[in-house]
Amino acid sequence: MAKRGVVAAVPCNARDRAYEDLRRRIVMVELPPGAALSENEMAVALGVSRTPVREALLLLANEGLVRVFPKVGTFVSRVDAEQVSEAQFMREAVELAALESIRFPVSADALRALEANVAEQDRVGDDPARFFELDEAFHRGLMELGGHGLSWSFVAAAKAHLDRARMLGVTLLPILEPLRREHRAIYEAVRDGDGPRAAAALRAHLRTVFDDIQTIRAQRPELFLADPDSLPTRRSVAVWE
């Protein structure tokens, strides 16, 4: 039993589990931008105490994925177009550099996983979550072809804001088929040993998120950050307008 006045240490696995689960749900838009978060409800859902949930929320706040308003509540951050742009800049630079490292021609054996991924994308239909998984695997596979697969974890960790925008796109817009075609065009350029064509196709593909954001923002402005200084108002519950 902890002595009075001494806070017992919370096992890292409880905090980490809460963090990973909440981060995944925010990135996958299961917890949409602007949603109010309840420590009690999340603790019950995760089967942990409020302390690891609170610590997980602080970590997410440091990433800009959550906003904490003292005496009001905690909310999922709205999508910040500036943060999306920064993450996109980093991702494009890294992925294009990895693509330039590919030694052509690439063997059929080395291309087999990428070819299977593109084929699987055609089979998943309109399943945004599954398509997102395949999309991540496709881009990781490209980096592996260039010998930079280990760098993918750094890219993935830094692009949470971008991933939310991408997930909103595949969920709210009819873009799955165009994205499949773009992936296939990139794959075919790599298969054909045409580095410049592959780079141009990859760059254009990665930048489609900006057009998607403009379209979604026109339809659902409440999902995006407009005024960084806006505060929630309290009705029967706190609402971030």
For residue 68, how many other CB atoms are within 10 A of its CB? 14
The pLDDT value recorded for residue 237 is 46
Distance (Å, whole) CA 176 – CA 173: 8
The pLDDT value recorded for residue 234 is 53
227 vs 31 pLDDT, higher one:
31
In the chain, the domains with their CATH numbers are 12-78+225-239 (1.10.10.10), 81-220 (1.20.120.530)
The amino acid that residue 141 corresponds to is G
The amino acid that residue 126 corresponds to is D
Q: HEC string of 125-186?
A: CCCHHHHHHHHHHHHHHHHHHCCCHHHHHHHHHHCHHHHHHHHHHHHHCCCHHHHHHHHHHH
pTM: 0.86
pLDDT above 70 as % of the chain? 90
Q: 11-33 pLDDT, tens per residue?
A: 468 999 999 999 999 999 999 99
Question: Cβ distance 149 to 140 under 8 Å?
Answer: yes
